[in-house]
Amino acid sequence: MNLLLAATIACLATDATINTTATLERVAVIGASASAGWGVVLPSAHPPKERMALNRHIDLADVLPVVLGSDAGDVIDHTDTMFFASPMKVGSQEVRDAIASNPTIVIAVDFLFWYGYGERGVSGERHTENDVMSRMALLETGIAAIERFHVPVLVGDLPDVSAAAAVEPISLLKQTQVPSRKALQAMNVRIHAWAANDPNITLVPLADTVDRMVRNVPLRLNSFNWDSNNRLLQFDRLHPTPWGLVALGELTAQSLPQTIKVETMRRNPEDVLAKLREQTR
């Protein structure tokens, strides 16, 4: 009986940590305004003659199928530009919706952003100057939400976008929403350790990539060298431009588990944007 019980416990423990083989059959995208393409509008390559211009809004769920080509299956968008207003509520809803779509892989590049940034903690209290504990507690609720998935998840760490709080004349990020340097460092240490120890989690190096965007350092994404003249961030120094959104798509593609082989990859951002413009009709 003891041997049977031990075997059962061992089996259950194994099931809890199974890293399901990732496929691109059904891709669920969750996250905040960057993935939702806030302010990203792309003109058509062939506007109709009766109109001066034809534009459409695009998001990461639009970009990914173009980057991945025909190897991508269904890509379903669950992102919400209002994530900042209530991270726990919106985040939980996104996760529920994504689970309902029965994904084979989940893309959560900026999902944790508002679990680290923002003014209020888990109980609605304002973060104080000594904000490490309160921000870490909120981050844990975001991690717990992602752990509801039983398929591979790509998760970004937290970038330093503190410069966005100093944009003149109007900034979309308030200084009180920005974590202290100590808190940001502690949260990223936690995210990296979590990703390293959970076989279902793949870390997307969002913090390093955004840092390069902010400093206008040339990017190498998905084995392609980017032109440093491409403007990647909008006026707010927070949200990506069309080029920046493609950069997130390429960053996601290069971060896919090694078990996924993509033969139809588009690595050149100009090719990706050209294809997106062709789709704008």
pLDDT band for 21, please (50, 70, 90 cuts). confident
Q: Does residue 2 carry a pLDDT above 50? A: no
Q: Residue range 201-220: average pLDDT?
A: 94
- Look at residues 247, 258, 187 and name the one whose alpha carbon lies nearest to residue 214: 247
Q: Residue range 234-249: average pLDDT?
A: 96
Domain ranges of the chain: 20-278
pLDDT band for 19, please (50, 70, 90 cuts). very low
User: pLDDT tens digits for 32-46?
Assistant: 999 999 999 998 887
Q: Residue range 128-148: average pLDDT?
A: 97
User: pLDDT tens digits for 44-86?
Assistant: 887 776 666 668 899 999 999 999 999 999 999 999 999 999 9
- Which pLDDT value is given to residue 162? 96
Asked if 233 and 241 count as a contact pair (C-beta separation under 8 A), the reply is yes
The more confidently predicted of residues 217 and 189 is 189
CA distance linking residue 68 with residue 262, whole number of Å: 7
Q: Residue range 98-110: average pLDDT?
A: 97
CA angle (214 as vertex; 210, 217 as ends), nearest 5 = 90
* Contacts (Cβ under 8 Å, ≥6 apart) of 273: 42, 242, 243, 246
The answer to whether the predicted template modeling score (pTM) of the entire model surpasses 0.85 is: yes
Instruction: Please spell the DSSP secondary structure of the chain, one letter per residue.
Output: -HHHHHHHHHHHHHHHT--PPP-SSEEEE--STTTTTTT-EEE-SS--TTSS--EEE--HHHHHHHHHGGG--EEEE---TTGGG-HHHHHHHHHHHHHHT--SEEEETTTTHHHHSSSB-TTSPBP-SS-HHHHHHHHHHHHHHHTT--S-EEEE-----GGGGG-SS--SS-GGGSPPHHHHHHHHHHHHHHHHH-TTEEEE-HHHHHHHHHTTPPPEETTEEPPTTS--B-TTSSSB-HHHHHHHHHHHHHTS-TT---SS----HHHHHHHHHHT--
CATH for 20-278 is 3.40.50.1110
Supply the mean pLDDT for the chain.
90
* Contacts (Cβ under 8 Å, ≥6 apart) of 98: 28, 30, 76, 78, 106, 149
**Backbone φ, ψ for residue 155 (5° rounding):** -125, 130
CA 267 to chain centre: 19
Q: Is the dihedral of CA 135, 214, 111, 124 positive or negative?
A: positive
Sequence-distant contacts of 213-221: CB under 8 A, at least 24 apart: 213/240, 213/244, 213/247, 214/160, 214/161, 214/163, 219/247, 221/247, 221/250, 221/251, 221/254, 221/267
Instruction: Please spell the DSSP secondary structure of 155-205, one letter per residue.
Output: EE-----GGGGG-SS--SS-GGGSPPHHHHHHHHHHHHHHHHH-TTEEEE-
Q: Does residue 122 carry a pLDDT above 50? A: yes
